């Protein structure tokens, strides 16, 4: 009998040096690509057009110790550090941590900071190069254990749709949105073409932490000025908690009514705050629907419970509060190799969290929920780890 899933992490990061994926850029653009600069005091920094030097540190912690600066993708002997190697190394690191699969988000620096590159042809080439590397060199080694999230460019709806069509063609069926598909921080009608195409292609929405504008601008206490003021007002008292404003925008703009099959998974947002937030958004709706002359087909909390999933890291309170949470919509993530995760002690962390708790909760969070969202077969034998 082969190996089966026991623990699926809904949050890990691909943190490989840029040469791993820059090689897939057209030659004429490669001199504009990000690169690592060795620092005199140790470690490296990212050199990215339009940005100050960004030192490695928390993004490549592995088992630690945590560094704010001076982190490195390489060990002293020049071999890849933990979390910075190829797909085979990553599978062995899963074994060390007691997990069997990971949902993999893009590199924290290389995916967002490149938006500052002025030449958008170069920017789009970088996105395509990373997505090609992810599909061809990384996830293809064990697609059942290395579940990749592609990157969507922020240069407009046509580019966003073209990229998810490419991702589907190379076997990547999840995307980490950074902005709304129109390229801005706010929901707009033209996004509908993207939502529609993503459902046709079977592309899952997996924004990490949130996407677009995380909280509304405020002109004065209680009134949001960005985008739809009603969406901003519904997030009063919880406006600083991602992904509340993202969800509110999608709700009040009618996206979830027009596309009832659309689902979103927000990694690393934790869940202990959810009971209060669900109450508050409904309470705000009752208070402000009259002054705004706005009526929704359903309560805001009902949209949230039907369309959104949430990932926890180091949030044992969420398990303690399990009776008050939508536990069939929660996933655990190790956040490897970032600093606030649980590697290499995820097994102990989970054993401690679920001690004395009915096994059905553990099974939901660690197996049923990620399998349902990402279409994984819990009965199938999974890819064995290659020897070192």
Domain boundaries, the chain: 83-374
Query: What's the confidence (pLDDT) of residue 108?
Result: 80
Give residue 220's pLDDT: 53
pLDDT in tens, the chain (388 residues): 799 999 999 999 999 999 999 999 999 999 999 999 999 999 999 999 999 999 999 999 999 999 999 999 999 999 999 999 999 999 999 999 999 999 999 988 778 899 999 999 999 999 999 999 999 999 999 999 999 999 999 999 999 999 999 999 999 999 999 999 999 999 999 999 999 999 999 999 999 989 999 888 876 555 556 789 899 999 998 878 999 999 999 999 999 999 999 999 999 999 999 999 999 999 999 999 999 999 999 999 999 999 999 999 999 999 999 999 999 999 999 999 999 999 999 999 999 999 999 999 999 999 999 999 999 999 999 999 999 8
Close Cβ partners of 364 (under 8 Å, ≥ 6 residues apart): 327, 328, 330
**Of 198, 231, 230, which Cα lies nearest the Cα of 212?**
231
Confidence at residue 254, expressed as pLDDT on a 0 to 100 scale: 98
pLDDT value of residue 219: 61
Instruction: Supply the pLDDT for residue 222.
Output: 57
pLDDT of residue 42: 94
> What's the confidence (pLDDT) of residue 286?
98
Are 2 and 379 within 8 A, CB to CB? no
Q: What is the pLDDT of residue 93?
A: 98
Exposed, middle or buried, 26 (CB in 10 Å: 0-12/13-18/19+)?
exposed
Gyration radius from the chain CA atoms: 21
276-306: per-residue pLDDT in tens? 999 999 999 999 999 999 999 999 999 999 9
Q: Which CATH fold topology does 83-374 show?
A: TIM Barrel (3.20.20)
Residue 111, pLDDT score: 83
Q: What is the pLDDT of residue 223?
A: 57
Compute how many other C-beta atoms are within 10 angstroms of the C-beta atom of residue 380.
12
- pLDDT value of position 224: 59
DSSP state of 115: G
Cβ contact 242:249 at 8 Å: no
């Amino acid at each position: 009998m082969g190996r089966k899933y026991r623990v699926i992490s809904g949050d890990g990061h691909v943190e490989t040096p840029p040469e791993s994926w820059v090689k897939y850029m057209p030659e004429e653009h490669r001199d504009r690509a990000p690169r690592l600069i060795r620092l005199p005091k140790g470690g490296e920094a990212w050199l990215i057009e339009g940005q100050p030097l960004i030192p490695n540190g928390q993004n490549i912690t592995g088992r630690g110790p945590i560094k704010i600066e001076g982190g490195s993708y390489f060990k002293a002997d020049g071999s890849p550090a933990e979390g910075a190697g190829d797909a085979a190394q990553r599978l062995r690191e899963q074994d060390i941590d007691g997990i069997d699969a990971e949902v993999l988000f893009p590199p924290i620096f290389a995916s967002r900071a490149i938006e500052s590159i002025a030449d958008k042809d170069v920017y789009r080439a970088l996105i395509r190069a990373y997505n090609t590397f992810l599909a061809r060199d990384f996830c293809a080694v064990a697609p059942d254990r290395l579940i990749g999230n592609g990157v969507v460019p922020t240069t407009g709806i046509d580019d966003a749709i073209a990229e998810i069509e490419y991702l589907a063609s190379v076997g990547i069926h999840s995307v980490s949105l950074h902005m709304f598909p129109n390229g801005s921080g706010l929901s707009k009608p033209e996004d509908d073409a993207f939502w529609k195409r993503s459902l046709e292609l079977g592309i899952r929405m997996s924004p990490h932490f949130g996407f677009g504008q995380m909280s509304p601008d405020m002109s004065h206490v209680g009134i949001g000025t960005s985008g739809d003021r009603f969406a901003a007002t519904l997030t009063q008292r919880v406006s600083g908690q991602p992904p509340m404003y993202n969800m509110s925008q999608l709700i009040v703009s009618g996206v979830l009514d027009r596309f009832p099959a659309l689902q979103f998974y927000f990694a690393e947002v934790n869940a202990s705050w959810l009971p209060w937030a669900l109450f508050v958004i409904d309470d705000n709706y009752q208070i402000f629907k009259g002054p705004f002359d706005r009526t929704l087909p359903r309560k805001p909390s009902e949209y949230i419970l039907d369309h959104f999933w949430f990932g926890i890291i180091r949030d044992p309170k969420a398990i303690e509060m399990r009776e008050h949470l939508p536990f069939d919509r929660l996933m655990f993530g190790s956040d490897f190799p970032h600093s606030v995760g649980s590697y290499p002690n995820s097994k102990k962390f989970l054993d401690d969290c679920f001690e004395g708790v009915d096994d059905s909760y553990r099974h939901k969070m660690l197996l049923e929920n990620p399998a349902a969202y990402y279409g994984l077969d819990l009965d199938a034998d999974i890819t064995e780890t290659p020897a070192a």
